[in-house]
Amino acid sequence: MADLTVKIGQLTLKNPVLTASGTFGYGLEYADFFDLSEIGGIVVKGTTLHPREGNAYPRMAETPAGMLNAVGLQNKGVDYFVSHIYPAIKEINTCMIVNVSGSTIDDYVACAARINDLEKIPAIELNISCPNVKQGGMAFGTDCASAAAVVKAVRQVYNKTLIVKLSPNVTDITKIAQAVETEGADAVSLINTLLGMAVNTETRKPVLSTITGGLSGACIKPVALRMVYQTAKAVKIPVIGMGGISCAKDAIEFIIAGATAIQIGTYNFIDPTISVKVAEGINEYLERHGFSSVQELTASLQV
């Protein structure tokens, strides 16, 4: 068995495989299928200061090798999370990370501060990249100054591991990554969904209620991989890679390109047990190639 542990800020993950926000519920939805403690971590649903109803149905359109979603951060707010969900998930024996979203800097700060008090939540992932709500954070994630401002403000109230999730809907993602690194982010995770759309030709109407939505799944992998590669070269903090990972080989590509850890999103819908399989597959790969630890593989791309 190779050493699969990785370090992200103050965290030590038992392996580099996490599940991505918005695709894994609160973890409990998958507990019937496998032992959740076998994966490195779970990033739970996007949580906001106030409850959000999300967007109108239809919220989903399948695409070749992927899907568009326009969920729009439906959640019951951080107070409900603290009182009703946290008690149910705090015994899950893996690293539980809360994805924090907001429309204003004050919202992000207030939400992060609430979660800072939760003993069994050792990290947050600051979502400055949701494409599906008007002031859904993507505005923060597409501009260096705003990205820096929100991270700076949250850093003042949040003293555990702070991961910042980046939007791919920018000209140069490395600039945003550097801006949040400067303000004290412990790691960056990327990519969130790519802005896309679908048209129903019979009705000449958009398929999604919001017209545009976020593209995820296998079809975005090459774009995500390229961004992870570029970002890992541009920052010193760990990069958590995601976007279209559907098997161990995909995950290994991200790690070789520079990712310290990876997240699996949409593919959980197709194979709810994919995350454990990927963790096992990474171990097999490391053994087969004579690596003693996964950390040796990170950024080992031979160019």
Partner 1 sequence: MKYLADWIVVENTPLNVRYCLLRLRLNQELPEMQPGQFVQAKIENSPSTFLRRPISIHYVHRDKREIGLLVQIVGNGTQKLASLTVGEKLNLIYPIGKGFSIPKPDKTKQTLLLIGGGVGIAPLLFLGQTLKQQGFIPEFLLGARTRNDLLCLDDFAAVGAVYITTEDGSIGEKGFVSNHSVLSNTKADFIYTCGPKPMMMAVARYAKRHNIPCEVSLENTMACGIGACLCCVEKTVDGNTCVCTEGPVFNINELLWQI
Ligand X SMILES: Cc1cc2nc3c(=O)[nH]c(=O)nc-3n(C[C@H](O)[C@H](O)[C@H](O)COP(=O)(O)O)c2cc1C
CB 73 within 8 A of CB 54: yes
Beta-sheet strands, E only, within 150-289: 161-165, 187-190, 194-197, 199-200, 205-206, 212-216, 239-241, 261-264
- Binder of ligand X out of 147, 163, 177, 220 (CB under 6 A): 220
Q: Which of partner 1, ligand X, none does residue 103 bind (CB under 5 to 8 Å by kind)?
A: none
Q: Please state, as a whole number, how many other Cβ atoms lie within 10 Å of the Cβ of residue 200.
A: 12
Site string for ligand X, 159-188 (x = CB under 6 A): ------x-----------------------
Closer residue to partner 1 in complex, CB, 245/294: 245
Q: How far is the CB of 110 from ligand X (least distance, A)?
A: 18
Establish if 265 lies at the interface with ligand X (CB under 6 A): yes
Site string for partner 1, 20-39 (x = CB under 8 A): --xxxx---xx-xx------
Cis peptide before 115 (omega within 30 of 0): no
Q: How far is the CB of 27 from partner 1 (least distance, A)?
A: 9
CA distance 266 to 287: 28
Q: Can you tell me which residue has the tokens 């699996």?
A: 264
Establish if 46 lies at the interface with ligand X (CB under 6 A): yes
Closer residue to ligand X in complex, CB, 36/278: 278
Q: How far is the CB of 85 from partner 1 (least distance, A)?
A: 13
Q: Can you tell me which residue has the tokens 């399989």?
A: 277
Q: Which of ligand X, partner 1, none does residue 220 bind (CB under 5 to 8 Å by kind)?
A: ligand X
* Binding-site size, partner 1 (CB under 8 A): 33
CA distance 128 to 136: 8
- Note if 130 is an active site residue: yes
| Distances 37 to 34, 85, 87, 247 between C-alpha atoms, Å | 9, 18, 17, 19
Q: Which two tokens mark 160? A: 């555990």
SS3 33: coil
Site string for ligand X, 16-35 (x = CB under 6 A): ----xxxx------------
Q: How far is the CB of 270 from ligand X (least distance, A)?
A: 11
Establish if 40 lies at the interface with partner 1 (CB under 8 A): no
Closer residue to ligand X in complex, CB, 103/127: 127
CA distance 255 to 278: 12
Q: Please state, as a whole number, how many other Cβ atoms lie within 10 Å of the Cβ of residue 143.
A: 16
* Binding-site size, ligand X (CB under 6 A): 26
Catalytic residues, which ones?
130
